[in-house]
Structures are given as structure tokens and as C-alpha cells.
């Protein structure tokens, strides 16, 4: 599989704090690559670097072979980079359908459409309903986002992101605070999404990570200490030392 997103030698400091240090990462087309690590490991900084919210002090970022290191967020989005956040960013006063229709409206970027209400335009509503159906959210189409349970809001945020038709998704703790039932639905959606997108997943839910990820990268203090399959990472002594306090040279 070809690398769809690559970070090469990414370093970022905030004063005396080293957030990432000469970090390399790549995500291939059709895979879910999970990034894990303790608090303060540099996971959120890595996502912000890849999405364009902040610029690295050194290093390069390539999206589908194109250097996007100095591109702002909106230009990376036009090239197909989508992102979800730890805190839900849906429009609370709009309905579920309107949230997705507005995302489609923004993607089409057609001047006359921007003057039409998204909730009455069939050219927006029909594809919006298809996205909602894909995530099993269609029955909630007319409910306001503010009325949704937390897990439903996370699914809606993913629906809004998918409506922009990205090539690649950055997912920031999508399982945080999600109840078991919605979590299972999210697992199924992401498992299917890998067929269409590359996905980089930052997540603390280890059960979800090891169910979904093709590869896992472990960060500690801004550095990569291990990358491999879930089985390889579980067995890695450096990872066990970081998470369990085992000596690196210890025995099983």
C-alpha cells in the first residue's frame, strides 16, 4: 500500500517543552494507523501539525505525495484532509440533517447554493440523508444536535466530516465518553471507512485501538518508541515499560 500521509522529521517546541522530536509517521491508503501514548506524549501536537493548525519547527508533511508543510488548514481540507476533534464541533442549534447538508454545501462551494437554505435544497438533502443512513443516524435527521446524546454527537461530527468527501481522516479520541452501544456502532463505521480512506486515530481506548488498528505508533515525550502491528506493540518491552513500569530489560 502506498503512503497517503507522511510526517518526516517533525519537531516542535513550545519554549523549553519538546512536544515532538524528529518524529516520523506514515499512514497508508486503506489502513487505520493508531497513535497512543500517555498524557503529554505529543499526540495532540502531532494531529495539529498534520492538520495545519500549527507549523513544525523542522520536518516535512506530505499528503498524497504533495508537500503541504506550509499550507494552512483550509487548503489541506481542499486536498482531502478531514479532522474530528476531542470536543464536538457540530452546530448545536441546527438539526442533524442541516449539519450534514451545510457541510455538503460548503464542499460544493457554489455561490448560488450558498444563498439557498440547506434544509430545503434537495441537492443537499438527498446526499446528506445518504451519509446519515451510512452511520445509522437517519432516524435522528430532524432532531436538533443539542438534543443528542454524547455518542450520537460524536457520530454526527464524523458524518459532517464524511460529507466533505475527504481522502484522509485525522480522528482525535472519537471514543472519548462514548457509551458502549454507540462505541460499537463507531467501530463498525470506522472499520468500513478504511476501505475508502486512510485514517490516523489518536485514542486512549485501548480496546478500540487493538480492534481497529492495522498499525500502532507509541509516543512518549514526543518521541516514537515503537511502531508495528498491535501484536508487535503489545509485546514491545519499551511500550510495557512506558505503560506498566516494567524495566526495559526485564523478563516476562
Region 90-108: what's the mean pLDDT? Answer: 88
pLDDT at 83 over 90: no
- Write down the domain spans for the chain: 3-89+166-244
Which tens digit of pLDDT belongs to each residue from 70-79? Answer: 999 989 988 9
Query: How many CB atoms lie under 10 A from the CB of residue 179?
Result: 12
DSSP collapsed to 3 states, 180-240: HHHHHHHHHHHHHHCCCCEEEEECCCHHHHHHHCCEEEEEECCEEEEEECHHHHHHCHHHH
CB 39 within 8 A of CB 219: no
Rounded to whole angstroms, the Cα distance separating 147 from 96 reads: 10
CB 66 within 8 A of CB 36: no
CB 157 within 8 A of CB 206: no
| CATH architecture designation of domain 3-89+166-244 | 3-Layer(aba) Sandwich (3.40)
Q: What is the pLDDT of residue 251?
A: 40
Most confident of 60-69, 88-97, 121-130: 60-69
Q: What is the mean pLDDT of the chain?
A: 87
Region 206-219: what's the mean pLDDT? Answer: 93
Assign 249 a pLDDT band (cuts: 50, 70, 90).
Answer: low
Q: What global pTM score does this model have?
A: 0.85
pLDDT at 86 over 80: no
Region 39-43: what's the mean pLDDT? Answer: 91
Distance of CA 208 to the CA centre of its chain: 14
Cα-atom radius of gyration of the chain, to the nearest Å? 19
Region 4-28: what's the mean pLDDT? Answer: 94
Q: What is the pLDDT of residue 248?
A: 56
Q: What is the pLDDT of residue 180?
A: 80
pLDDT at 69 over 90: yes
Amino acid at each position: 500500500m502506498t503512503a497517503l500521509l507522511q510526517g518526516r522529521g517533525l519537531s516542535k517546541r513550545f519554549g523549553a517543552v519538546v512536544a515532538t522530536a524528529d518524529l516520523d509517521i506514515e499512514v497508508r491508503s486503506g489502513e487505520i494507523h493508531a497513535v497512543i501514548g500517555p498524557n503529554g506524549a505529543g499526540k495532540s501536537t502531532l494531529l495539529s501539525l498534520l492538520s495545519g493548525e500549527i507549523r513544525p519547527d523542522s520536518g516535512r508533511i506530505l499528503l498524497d505525495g504533495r508537500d503541504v508543510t506550509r499550507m494552512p488548514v483550509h487548503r489541506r481540507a481542499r486536498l482531502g484532509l478531514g479532522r474530528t476533534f476531542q470536543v464536538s464541533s457540530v452546530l448545536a442549534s441546527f438539526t442533524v440533517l442541516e449539519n450534514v447538508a451545510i457541510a455538503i454545501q460548503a464542499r460544493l462551494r457554489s455561490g448560488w447554493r450558498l444563498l439557498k437554505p440547506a434544509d430545503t435544497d434537495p441537492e443537499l438533502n438527498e446526499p446528506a440523508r445518504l451519509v446519515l443512513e451510512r452511520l445509522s443516524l437517519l432516524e435522528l435527521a430532524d432532531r436538533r444536535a443539542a438534543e443528542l446524546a454524547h455518542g450520537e454527537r460524536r457520530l454526527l461530527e464524523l458524518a459532517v466530516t464524511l460529507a466533505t468527501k475527504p481522502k484522509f481522516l485525522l480522528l482525535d479520541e472519537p471514543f472519548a465518553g462514548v457509551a458502549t452501544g454507540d462505541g460499537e456502532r463507531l467501530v463498525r463505521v470506522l472499520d468500513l471507512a478504511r476501505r475508502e480512506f486512510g485514517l490516523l486515530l489518536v485514542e486512549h481506548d485501548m480496546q478500540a485501538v487493538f480492534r481497529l488498528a492495522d498499525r500502532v505508533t507509541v509516543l512518549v515525550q514526543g518521541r516514537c518508541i515503537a511502531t508495528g502491528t498491535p501484536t508487535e506493540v503489545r509485546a514491545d518491552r519499551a511500550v510495557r515499560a512506558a505503560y506498566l513500569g516494567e524495566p526495559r530489560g526485564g523478563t516476562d
